[in-house]
Amino acid sequence: MDQEFIAEYIPLYREAAVLTVKIGFAGIAAAILLGLICEITDYFRIPVLKRVVAVYIELSRNTPLLIQLFFIYYGLPKLGIHTNAEVCGVAGLAFLGGSYMAEAFRSGVEAIDAIQEESAYSLGLSRFQTIRYVLLPQALTISAPALIANVIFLLKETSVFSAISLMDLMFTAKDLIGLYYSTTESLVLLVVFYLLILLPVSILGSVMERRLRYAGFGV
Amino acid sequence: MPETILEISHLRKLYDDLRVFEDLSLTVHEGEVIVIVGPSGCGKSTLLRCINALEDIQGGEIRLRGEPVSKENRNLQSIRQKIGMVFQNYELFPHMTVLDNIMLAPVKAQGRKKEEVREEALDLLKRVGLESKADSYPRQLSGGQKQRTAIVRALCMHPEILLFDEVTAALDPEMVREVLEVILDLANQGKTMLVVTHEMQFARAIADRVIFLDEGRICEEGTPDGFFDEPKTERARKFLNTFTFERKGAKN
């Protein structure tokens, strides 16, 4: 292994990592928001919208991110919407992740016995208070492991961004391999940088999970 | 005659095709303890759930101090605050401490002052022997302790009437007593209560009036001594017989 090469290209990887993290977390935040909206639509059985959500979830879960990205990247301009690759990356991740997040929220909500809700109503709590103080904290606690797994999954999915010419980690590695045939060094750096991003998220995730398990969310 | 608290008239309740109640009427007076017994599936729990508007009804009326209890009533929330319900499986909120479980509804639904509610909650917990458990989570309590907490949670709302839905059915025998004693104590304080139970000795001890429900009808109604010693109907006699045992062969 060429240590000089590694030292020389660390800054390039660092730049790419920053881009990956930026787009990754922006996409994940959007995915969580989208998932929450889907679950709210589903929970309150909002007519029409509920159907739209069901179609979206199947479409999103059953097509690869790469193809979703192509549709967004090459399709949007044809509809007259011109954006840059970064926005497309965020949108693609949100489109893919939204359905996974929605399903995670749904599993949490559905895991709570209906009688918990009745117990809250019988105490004279309003529907909003029941959701806010009784259902949501329990649902989030139950969903937490799935939500955290989704975050890690989506961060890893960012590796296909290179296909829409975003200069992310994968793009950088492929580029260096193409230019210098430095396969080993480039790939080692790639793995190390992905681990640097994902390990802290993973560890933070398990800590949060443990904290959340019995968290009170205050009264 | 004491004041009427709850009036159920001509209640009709269907589950799809299944007829639960056809025409059920019942009046509960202030300070009265009514025990409802009957075979499983006779509608005991459904009746309590109707009183709290947890079930839709298809006909008739339920009134609490003259005010209709129904999902259509815009005041349903405040009516429910006057009806305390204790469930078979406690239904405490698992993510909250005992104290928070008790304080949630008085503070959020009734808008009472936190300090005042806390003081009352702690006082009630002390009365049921749980003052040391205020900061515990439900998962750290035994079944009996959970059920006593659930009773305190209902009491802290100052309900006009308390509904007990087979509150000892999920408990170990030794814990049954500690819960029943709390309910007996409430009866002594003159609380108005509707109690569904399979504990016949307890029913006899606590009831002012026993109602025997069968196939959605009030089959028999009477004083506890009258009902348990000399049931008038064959159906009630048969039901009460299921609680006594006799061995045919000789014991040696």
Structural domains in chain B, sorted by start: 4-93+159-241 (3.40.50.300)
Name which of B82, B91, B158 to mutate to probe chain A: the one with the most chain A Cβ atoms within 10 A of its Cβ.
Answer: B91
> Which residue segment(s) compose the domain that A90 sits in?
18-166
CB-based contact B20:B43 (threshold 8 Å) = yes
Count of CB pairs separated by less than 8 Å, A with B: 74
How much is the pLDDT for B244?
81
- Report if residue A4 sits inside a domain: no
Of B86, B88, B92, nearest to B146 (Cα)? B92
pLDDT of residue B90 exceeding 50: yes
Task: Give B4's strand partners.
Answer: B29
Smallest CA–CA distance, residue A36 to chain B, in Å, is 21
- Report if residue A48 sits inside a domain: yes
Give residue ranges of B with CB < 8 Å to any A CB.
Answer: 52, 54, 77-81, 83-85, 87, 89, 91-97, 100, 103-105, 107-110, 137, 139, 153-154, 157
- Report if residue A26 sits inside a domain: yes
- Residue pLDDT, tens place only, B215-239: 889 999 999 999 999 999 999 999 9
- Report if residue A206 sits inside a domain: no
Show the tokens assigned to B214: 């069968």
Q: Is this prediction's ipTM beyond 0.95?
A: no
CB-based contact B135:B102 (threshold 8 Å) = no
Instruction: Give chain A's domain count.
Output: 1
Q: Which residues contact B120 (CB under 8 A, 6 or more apart)?
A: B106, B156
How much is the pLDDT for A216?
46
- Report if residue A73 sits inside a domain: yes
**DSSP H helices in chain B:** 44-51, 76-81, 98-108, 114-127, 143-155, 173-188, 200-206, 224-229, 234-241
pLDDT of residue A214 exceeding 70: no
Per the prediction, chain A carries an average pLDDT of: 91
How much is the pLDDT for A215?
55
Q: Which residues of B touch A116 (CB under 8 A)?
A: 91, 93
For A127, the closest chain B residue by CA position comes to: B77
Q: How confident is the model at residue B252 (pLDDT cuts 50, 70, 90)?
A: low
Question: Lowest mean pLDDT: which of A69-78, A93-102, B114-123, B152-161?
Answer: A69-78
How much is the pLDDT for A218?
37
- Report if residue A181 sits inside a domain: no
Q: Which residues of B touch A122 (CB under 8 A)?
A: 52, 54, 80, 83-85
Q: How confident is the model at residue B16 (pLDDT cuts 50, 70, 90)?
A: confident
CATH of the domain at A28: 1.10.3720.10
- Residue pLDDT, tens place only, B118-141: 999 999 999 999 999 999 999 999
